[in-house]
């Protein structure tokens, strides 16, 4: 996600979500099925993997990565207070930070344990994406109420959303046609 994509979403009245902080590029396993460990040094990560997130640190919403960054912690970033410090202070993200889906196999323990670990680490919102009611209830109970910082971040994120900008559809169609060499005459 680049600046133009972020600005385009915001102009269209959509809040973009920056994913998956602090980086998924070096992961060699699918977090839906396994827990990847990135072994790059802190200096390497800061210079390359974390840099794009820092450039977009003002995006209102972000999602964590269920990845271990061994240079920092043995826990996945979603459940690591150390990685939350990296995201909040080194990367500079102060927006609303949500977990990736807590049902993914990268995380261990019950859904309540996963949720509690993510919230204790510093995530603002716990995501459960499977749609099973008793699981959703377990996650909601473990997540607890939003604290003042989460409420502040949520309010700031919602304030970033506005009605879509007015656009000239005929002009956009003409620009599109010119770019791809077609006509809708």
Domains of the chain: total:
1
Q: Which of 64, 61, 87, 65 is nearest to 9 (CA)?
A: 61
Residue 94 lies inside a defined structural domain of this protein: yes
89 is catalytic: no
Q: Domain of 47: which CATH number?
A: 3.20.20.300
Q: Where would I find the beta strands (DSSP E) of 16-166? A: 17-21, 37-38, 61-64, 68-69, 96-98
Residue 21 lies inside a defined structural domain of this protein: yes
pLDDT at 149: 97
Residue 75 lies inside a defined structural domain of this protein: yes
184 is catalytic: no
Task: Using DSSP bridges, classify how beta strands 37-38 and 61-64 pair: parallel, antiparallel or unpaired.
Answer: unpaired
At residue 42, what are phi and psi to the nearest 5 degrees? -60, -40
The one catalytic residue in 20, 49, 73, 100 is 100
pTM attached to this predicted model = 0.90
Per-residue model confidence as pLDDT tens digits over 13-31: 999 999 999 999 999 999 9
For the chain, list residues with pLDDT below 70.
Answer: 183-185
CA distance 59 to 40: 26
pLDDT at 181: 87
Query: H-type helices in 12-147, by residue range?
Result: 42-44, 51-55, 81-85, 111-121, 133-143
At 40, is the secondary structure helix, strand, or coil? Answer: coil
Domain that holds residue 115: 3-180
pLDDT at 183: 65
Residue 185 lies inside a defined structural domain of this protein: no
Residue 64 lies inside a defined structural domain of this protein: yes
CB 84 within 8 A of CB 95: no
CA distance 115 to 135: 11
Per-residue model confidence as pLDDT tens digits over 35-64: 999 999 999 999 999 999 999 999 999 999
The one catalytic residue in 7, 30, 32, 58 is 32
As to burial, measured by CB atoms within 10 angstroms (0-12 exposed, 13-18 middle, 19+ buried), residue 97 is buried
Residue 60 lies inside a defined structural domain of this protein: yes
């Amino acid at each position: 996600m680049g600046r133009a994509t972020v600005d385009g979403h915001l102009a269209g009245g959509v809040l973009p979500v920056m994913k998956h902080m602090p980086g998924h590029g070096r992961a060699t396993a699918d977090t839906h099925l396994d827990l990847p460990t990135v072994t790059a040094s802190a200096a390497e990560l800061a210079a390359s993997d974390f840099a794009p997130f820092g450039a977009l640190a003002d995006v209102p919403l972000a999602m964590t990565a269920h990845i271990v960054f061994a240079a920092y912690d043995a826990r996945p970033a979603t459940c690591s207070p150390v990685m939350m410090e990296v995201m909040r202070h080194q990367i500079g993200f102060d927006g609303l930070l949500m977990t990736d889906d807590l049902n993914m196999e990268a995380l261990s323990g019950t859904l309540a344990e996963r949720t509690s670990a993510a919230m204790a680490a510093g995530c603002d919102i716990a995501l459960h994406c499977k749609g099973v009611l008793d699981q959703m209830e377990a996650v909601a109970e473990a997540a607890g109420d939003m604290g003042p910082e989460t409420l502040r971040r949520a309010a700031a994120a919602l304030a970033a959303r506005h009605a879509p900008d007015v656009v000239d559809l005929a002009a956009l169609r003409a620009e599109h046609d010119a770019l791809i060499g077609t006509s809708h005459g």
